[in-house]
Amino acid sequence: MIDGYGRVIDYIRISVTDRCNLRCAYCMPQEGVPSVCHEDILRYDEILRLVRIFVSLGIRKIKLTGGEPLVRKNVPEFAAALRQIPGIEQVTLTTNGVCLKEQMRMLADAGIGGINLSLDTLNPVVFEKIARRPAFDQVMEGLREALKYPEIPLKINCVPMNIEGQNIVELAELARNYKIHVRYIEMMPIGLGRQFGFQSEEAILAELEKAYGPCRPFDKPLGNGPGHYVSFEGFAGKIGFISAISHKFCERCNRVRLTSQGFLKTCLQYERGVDLRALLRGGASDEELRLAVEKAIREKPVSHQFLREQWADSDKETHMMSQIGG
Ligand code: SAM
Ligand code: SF4
């Protein structure tokens, strides 16, 4: 569907849980977030019903997210059920990789269309400092498992934190050695991310060019998102950037988000949207749900306001990123 600013909205990020087995310092507090009880989380059959309505409004691609999506039971089966919905062209997943080794085969069988693996460093000590859980080896096993499925596109997502030993240059080696893309995501001032500064795309690129020589722009899109890419000589994969702050991409935004509690969020930085769980469980018909989704998308904000220190909107996002899904 087309929103109020002429943007085509065909992509949705669906969070299946706000629980996580890591505690990344920019995303989730050490003590976790207050656990939402099971009944408050949308059941899979409820999400499937909503997805049929989203499809009738033009949604074609789905990214499963969390918290950590793979801590919820039966995610591969759920992905397969989503793929069966006529009109859905692709279902992909973003994961921290901790449970990927055990689930990769089932995800492949489910027809998953791509995996984004969040990995901020190849240094196990720094990993534990950032993720605050001793899970580096499991994540690497997950990565190795995913590499056994070259037909499933794999991207590594790293949030540079400007901390000693993170070594974002070393992480780029993954794109040199394997046909996978390594992407650097600018830290966004949402939730705990507000405590950290961001390392700009230019600063990261300068570090990479120092190590690997000059890059060439790569103009084709890779995937459904706002990443843009460059190539380095001799690299099997590309290097990408998702720079919401230094290279704002709101005018090309194609997405909305469904939280695990059934709130349809129309912009990452705003609490604006519609509580679909309340409507669903209040007995709304498919047509009533469709009208509510349509109205929310029509009213999607024109852009984020990350660079405005103070702003008047009362509906500025107050949740953690783990509760939103990234
Ligand atoms: N647990 C899964 C994972 O880590 O991929 C899915 C959820 S996680 C919230 C999705 C993505 O959001 C991750 O790549 C994570 O690095 C990113 N993220 C979390 N907080 C962020 C922030 N403040 N700024 C930028 N990216 C952030
Ligand atoms: Fe968990 Fe992903 Fe957030 Fe890390 S980024 S705490 S893995 S939800």
Three-state SS at 151: coil
pLDDT band of residue 271 (cuts 50, 70, 90) is confident
Residue located nearest, by CA, to atom 25 of ligand 1: 187
146-175: b (≥16 Cβ within 10 Å) or e:
bbeeeebbbbbbbbbbeeeebebeebbebb
Residue 157 has pLDDT above 70, yes or no: yes
Residue 312 has pLDDT above 60, yes or no: no
Strand order in the sheet with 239-242: 216-218, 228-231, 239-242, 181-185, 154-158, 115-118, 90-95, 61-65, 11-15, 255-258, 263-265, 273-275
Distance CA 301, CA 268 (A): 10
Distance CA 143, CA 184 (A): 17
Lookup: tokens for 314: 């009362």
pLDDT value of position 153: 97
pLDDT value of position 316: 60
DSSP 46-74: HHHHHHHHHHHTT--EEEEESS-GGGSTT
Number of H helices, E strands in the chain: 10, 12
Looking at CATH, the fold of the domain delimited by 11-324 is given as TIM Barrel (3.20.20)
pLDDT value of position 311: 46
Q: pLDDT per residue over 191-244, tens digit each?
A: 888 888 778 889 999 999 999 999 999 988 787 777 899 999 999 999 999 987
Q: Average the pLDDT over 162-187 and give the result.
A: 95
Ranking 28-32, 81-85, 96-100, 119-123 by mean pLDDT, the lowest is 28-32
Distance CA 70, CA 261 (A): 17
158 lines ligand 2 (CB under 6 A): no
CA angle 38, 39, 44 (to 5 degrees): 80
20 lines ligand 2 (CB under 6 A): yes
Ligand at minimal distance from the CA of 64 is 1
Lookup: tokens for 274: 């519609």
Lookup: tokens for 36: 């939402």
How many angstroms is it from 69 CA to the middle of ligand 2? 10
Segment holding 94, helix H or strand E: strand 90-95
Q: Average the pLDDT over 241-249 and give the result.
A: 81
Three-state SS at 318: coil
pLDDT value of position 248: 75
Say what percent of the chain tops pLDDT 90.
75
Instruction: Give the helix ranges, DSSP H, for 98-147.
Output: 100-109, 124-131, 136-146
Residue located nearest, by CA, to atom 19 of ligand 1: 27
Distance CA 15, CA 256 (A): 11
**E-assigned strands of 210-276?**
216-218, 228-231, 239-242, 255-258, 263-265, 273-275
pLDDT value of position 221: 78
- pTM for the predicted model, two decimal places: 0.94
pLDDT band of residue 315 (cuts 50, 70, 90) is low
Lookup: tokens for 159: 């949030």
How many angstroms is it from 189 CA to the middle of ligand 1? 12
The per-residue pLDDT of the chain, averaged, comes to 92
Three-state SS at 294: helix
Instruction: Decide: 64 and 77 in contact? Cβ < 8 Å.
Output: no
Residues lining ligand 1, judged by CB closer than 6 Å?
20, 26-27, 65-66, 68, 94-96, 118, 157, 159, 185, 187-188, 190, 193, 321-322, 325-326
Distance CA 67, CA 22 (A): 9
pLDDT value of position 307: 58
322 lines ligand 2 (CB under 6 A): yes
pLDDT band of residue 251 (cuts 50, 70, 90) is confident
